[in-house]
Chains A and B, each alone.
Chain A
Amino acid sequence: MNNKFVWTKKDLLGLEYLSAEEIKFILYTAGSFKEVTTRQIKKVPALRGKTVVNLFYEPSTRTRASFELAAKRLSADVLNIAVESSSVKKGETLMDTGKNIEALKIDIIVVRHNCSGAPQILARSVSSSIVNAGDGWHEHPTQALLDIFTLKEKLGKIEGLRVSIIGDIAHSRVARSNIWGLTKLGAKVTVCAPEMLIPEGIEKMGVKTTTNLDEALEGADAINVLRMQFERDAAVAFPSKLEYLKNYGITTERLAKCKKDIVVMHPGPINRGVEMSSEVADGKNSVILEQVTNGIAVRMAVLYLVSAAKDKPGGLK
């Protein structure tokens, strides 16, 4: 990696707004942080004296825990705000919440929101760094970064890889961030889902679409299987869970027809027996738990880089 590369963005709002070089730089930095996570003492003083706030407007276990651990391993102080039990329930606006949090002299706000664009609004309202931990159906950049990091770790490169994203594309911020990241780094991406779950015009993002799972699996180096979002309206797209498993579920039989070393990913949580059988989820091709581990390294890299950019003399953005 070029020793002269300088990260200048105070926020990480999505992969759409990053260049291929910036994405590669985050991945490179994450590699260094992965080494830190393998040490006996998994902690460095890089963000000592900084405060990171996890502001989550949607339920989350792994993303919130991963961000919290990442911040703690950088020696930052961490404040977790679960909106269900906060003043937001009394009607406070996002901007007011952001400004009040900032008045507590914090440095980074990690925000998850059910509305697409909420982190962008917050980033314009406050001077703290904003990291998008998932906004509506828009983007989930750190999930995509950890997916790409895991793929690169497993297959050695991204350029030229054939990656199929299978499942509820329409409601998936993970799919969108993955598409931006993977295509910018030169991968060939196919999205596969029942017709109702493929958003119109998604081909403009540089992907191939298909409703035929066998077509999506043929020649794929990796598959990223997405969760069926029953809490949204994904269930109306097919008659039953069993029907979905039959037509779009990844089973041992289907995997047997794929490339021998195909990488199977899933951002979690898995609906076992719906989008993926347990044998596949726990099988030798699955890297699902490695994705979780890599998530900490990727988030450490992101927190470190946005914090360093914010601290630059002259307030680089």
Chain B
Amino acid sequence: MKEKSKVMDKEAIDKALERIAHEIIEHFEDLDDIAVIGIKNRGAHLAQRLALKIGRITKKNPPVGALDITLYRDDLTQVAEQPVVHATEIDFTIEGRNIVLVDDVLFTGRTIRCALDALIDFGRPGCIQLAVLVDRGHRELPIKADYVGKNVPTSADELVEVRLAETDGKDEVVLCQKTS
């Protein structure tokens, strides 16, 4: 894999999350009912940051959860290495709540479909909205994000890598070229 260009730096990521936080606040009339749930691993870290920003702006801290979707994947036999199953951490009821689901990159939409299945196994939320840091296109399912940090048009042989301080030591989004 070869790095082609940096799409977002630390500041751009922070600004995008700040804007998404404001958009979420504007959208929901009652902030007491919202919860932010990130898809592990990087989506969960982004969810934490987003919730902090919402809390700082509104003085109301929404509950934050982390969702592991490994057991819901429909492509386990196709991936070269089976993913490690991590625990889902949602210690509040999602029944009737307005959920903001967070992930780092929106691509085919299959991850989000799995996440919707997984979430609904925890109860019946009032609504689920989707926030992503990067939308790179190439959807294979009818799924659309409600909040997008940055649209990054890509070709099929490119990859978008989101690196976060929590997992990778620094914040950046990089466009990479697949090498055979």
Q: How far is the CA of A313 from the CA of B75 in the complex (A)?
A: 12
Interface size of B by CB at 8 A reads 21
Query: What residues of chain A lie closer than 8 Å to B123, measured between beta carbons?
Result: 40
- Do B121 and A29 have beta carbons less than 8 Å apart? no
Cβ–Cβ contact B71 & A311, under 8 A = no
Known A308-B82, A312-B77: A32·B121 in contact at CB below 8 Å:
no
Q: A311-B76, A312-B77 are in contact. Are A39 and B82 (CB under 8 A)?
A: no
Question: Is A137 at the interface (CB under 8 A from chain B)?
Answer: no
- Contacting residues of chain B (118-148) with chain A, CB-CB under 8 angstroms: 118, 121-123
Bound Cα distance from A295 to B85, whole angstroms: 17
Contact, CB under 8 Å: B81 / A39: no
Scan B62-95; emit 1 where CB is below 8 A from any A CB, else 0: 0000001011100011000111111111000000
Would you call A32 and B85 a contact (CB within 8 A)? Answer: yes
User: A5–B84 Cα gap in the complex (Å)?
Assistant: 7
| Interface residue tally on A, bucketed by range | 20 to 34
Instruction: For A75, give the chain B residue with the smallest CB separation.
Output: B71
The answer, yes or no, to whether B117 is at the interface (CB within 8 Å) is yes
Contact A45 B68 (CB under 8 A): no
Give Cα distance in the complex from A304 to B84, angstroms: 11
Pick from B68, B76, B85, B121: contact of A43, CB under 8 Å: B121
Scan residues 27-66 of chain A and give those whose CB is less than 8 A from a CB of chain B.
Answer: 28-29, 31-36, 39-41, 43-46
User: Would A312 and B85 count as touching, CB distance under 8 A?
Assistant: no
Q: Tally of A-B residue pairs with Cβ under 8 A?
A: 58
Residue A87, interface by CB 8 Å: no
Choose one: A7, A28, A32, A44; the contact of B82 (CB below 8 Å).
A7
Q: Is the CB of A32 within 8 A of B86?
A: yes
Q: Is the beta-carbon distance between A39 and B87 smaller than 8 angstroms? A: no
- For A312, the chain B residues whose CB sits under 8 A away are 77, 82
Assembly CA distance A33 to B71 (angstroms):
10
Cα A34 to Cα B84 with chains together (Å) = 15
**Proximity string of chain B (91-130) to chain A, C-beta cutoff 8 Å, 1 when within and 0 when not:** 0000000000000000000000000011001110000000
- Is A6 an interface residue when CB atoms closer than 8 A count as contact? yes
| A209 vs chain B, min Cβ distance (A) | 38
Contact B72 A31 (CB under 8 A): no
Report whether B82 and A33 are in contact in the complex, using a CB–CB cutoff of 8 Å: no
Residues of the B chain whose Cβ atoms lie less than 8 Å from the Cβ of A1: 84, 86
Which residues from chain B contact A32 at a C-beta distance below 8 Å?
Answer: 68, 85-88
Measured CB to CB, the closest approach of chain B to A32, in angstroms, equals 4
Contact residues in A for B83 (Cβ distance below 8 Å): 3
Residues of the B chain whose Cβ atoms lie less than 8 Å from the Cβ of A31: 87
Q: Within 8 Å CB of B72, what residues of A?
A: 44-46
- A25 contacts which chain B residues (CB < 8 A)? 84
Instruction: Choose from A4, A28, A44, A313 the contact partner of B121 (Cβ within 8 Å).
Output: A44
CA separation between A6 and B121, bound complex, in Å?
Answer: 27
- Closest chain B residue to A45 by CB distance? B72
By beta carbon, the residue of chain B nearest A308 is B82
Taking a contact as CB atoms under 8 Å apart, the answer to whether B122 and A35 are in contact is no
Q: Assess whether B122 is in contact with A41, with CB atoms less than 8 Å apart.
A: yes
A33 engages B122 (CB within 8 Å) = no
Cα separation A44 to B121 with both chains bound (whole Å): 8
User: Once the chains bind, are B121 and A39 in contact (CB under 8 Å)?
Assistant: yes
With both beta carbons as reference points, the residue of chain B lying nearest to A4 in the complex is identified as B81
Interface core residue of B41, B71, B123 (most chain A CB under 10 Å): B71
How far is it, in angstroms, between the C-alpha of A45 and the C-alpha of B120 when the chains are bound? 13
Specify which chain B residues have a CB less than 8 angstroms from the CB of A4 in the assembled complex.
Answer: 81
Residues of A within 8 A of B89 (CB): 35
